[in-house]
Amino acid sequence: MPVAGLRLECLRCFEWGEVDFGGAPTILSGMNGSGKTTLLEALYLLARGRSFRTGYPQQLTRHGCKAFGIEAVIPVSQGFRSVRLIYDQKINITIDRQTATTREVSEILPLTLLEAGITEIVLGGPEQRRKLLDWLMFHVEQEGWSHWKQYRRALRQWQWALRTGMDGTIWIERMMERIPQIEVARKRLIEACMPFWQRAFEALFPGIDWSLDYRTGIPSGMTLEEAFQNWNPERAERPYAPGPHRADIEIGIDGVPARQILSRGQAKLLATGLMWGGAHLLARHLGAAPLLLIDDFSSELDGLAQIRLLNLLAHEPVQVVVTTVQPPRKEDTPNAYRLFHVEHGCIRTRASW
């Protein structure tokens, strides 16, 4: 279910503002400090009940106001649904004027945000790529997610036993009980996502061979029990315990690990494609159009990369909202996009590029 419109009042630099998305991919352009990122923040606030820029909601209230409000209109088969957030000393969220939880909102407004650190999915350590799997598992593989949470609890208990000199055998056994279900869920997720990732890669890196392989975090040919028996925390070359918490997604470009050869701009392109593919899987599973927010879309991307990414992001059912200082040229932008210019807390539709 795409977002048709957004209204906000007394939020940061906005006294009042309204954006008619019409469910279409949208570009928000404007100078630094104009308020375009605040529009992404408003959508994020609605979906998550918190800001991605501050942990203090009182800081979001416009100077001279005592409260702020946000409303999104979401079309459904029999009309529209209204999601509202009011902050007046505390946050109150409603769906169609009925008090709602952030969990309930996330079911009709699934959302993810891509910021400057998105490149870490490609260039960073395995933890960043595991977060991608966690995001997908939370929404798509609920049983696998439950086993993953129980595994992590057992892992923490085992680590505590190790530090205190106690016998941690029972915790290893509990971890081993969960591993098969975790691995099945992760591999099923990757298999389901591969067609979308393949589509994204071919659009963003045409003519280049790529690969994506899942590494379990357990040495090849060993069970977890054998891996723990062979693991020595005193050996510097293997300081971390084996297991799914050490898993990784290895992405190769022409047979070379992507993190070794891609520039930051290329890494941003690839990471965005991975998130786009994941969002398409969510759309198929949830039956709702995920909202993909991309702040400072054009940074680190050359003109050709921007054109390729804009074309990829225009595809339904994923709805994308991006911000940029300088809007792309009209001739480089698919007709599906709507363009708005933001200036000093005022929003206007760009009649022409």
CATH of the domain at 312: 3.40.50.300
pLDDT digits (tens, 9 = 90+) for 247-270: 999 999 999 999 999 999 999 999
- On whether residue 134 sits in a domain, the answer given is yes
Higher pLDDT among residues 230 and 94, named by residue: 94
- On whether residue 186 sits in a domain, the answer given is yes
Q: Please give the tally of structural domains in the chain.
A: 2
Is pLDDT of 234 > 80? no
Euclidean distance between CA atoms 273 and 283, whole angstroms: 15
pLDDT digits (tens, 9 = 90+) for 333-345: 999 999 999 998 9
Euclidean distance between CA atoms 346 and 59, whole angstroms: 20
Identify which of 51, 95, 88 has the alpha carbon closest to the alpha carbon of residue 72.
95
What's residue 169's pLDDT? 87
Q: Do 100 and 149 belong together in one domain?
A: no
pLDDT digits (tens, 9 = 90+) for 171-215: 989 998 999 999 999 999 999 999 999 999 999 999 999 999 999
CB contact at 8 A, 319 and 289: yes
Higher pLDDT among residues 2 and 102, named by residue: 102
What's residue 43's pLDDT? 97
- b/e string for 324-344 if b means 16 or more Cβ within 10 A? beebbeeeebeeebbbbbbee
pLDDT digits (tens, 9 = 90+) for 128-180: 999 999 999 998 999 999 999 999 999 999 889 888 889 888 998 999 899 99
- Distance from the Cα of residue 327 to its chain's centroid: 23
Burial of 25 (0-12, 13-18, 19+ CB in 10 A): buried
Q: Do 94 and 219 belong together in one domain?
A: no
Q: Do 46 and 165 belong together in one domain?
A: no
Q: Do 164 and 247 belong together in one domain?
A: yes
Q: Are strands 14-20 and 5-11 parallel, antiparallel or unpaired?
A: antiparallel
Q: Do 244 and 128 belong together in one domain?
A: yes
Q: Do 190 and 97 belong together in one domain?
A: no
**Residue 322: strand, helix, or coil:** strand
Is pLDDT of 1 > 90? no
Which tokens sit at 167? 């016998």
Which tokens sit at 129? 């790529």
pLDDT digits (tens, 9 = 90+) for 55-80: 999 999 999 999 999 999 998 878 89
Q: Do 302 and 341 belong together in one domain?
A: yes
pLDDT digits (tens, 9 = 90+) for 102-133: 989 988 898 999 988 899 999 999 999 999 99
What's residue 239's pLDDT? 45
3-class secondary structure for 191-203?
HHHHHHHHHHHHH
Is pLDDT of 351 > 60? no
Euclidean distance between CA atoms 200 and 194, whole angstroms: 10
Is pLDDT of 348 > 60? yes
Domain ends where: 260, 288, 311? 260
Residue with the two structure tokens 């395995």: 126
Q: Do 165 and 240 belong together in one domain?
A: yes
Identify which of 197, 347, 177 has the alpha carbon closest to the alpha carbon of residue 272.
197
pTM for the model stands at 0.89
- On whether residue 289 sits in a domain, the answer given is no
Looking at residue 159, which CATH number applies to its domain?
Answer: 1.20.1050.90
Is pLDDT of 237 > 50? no
Confidence of residue 233 (pLDDT cuts 50, 70, 90): low
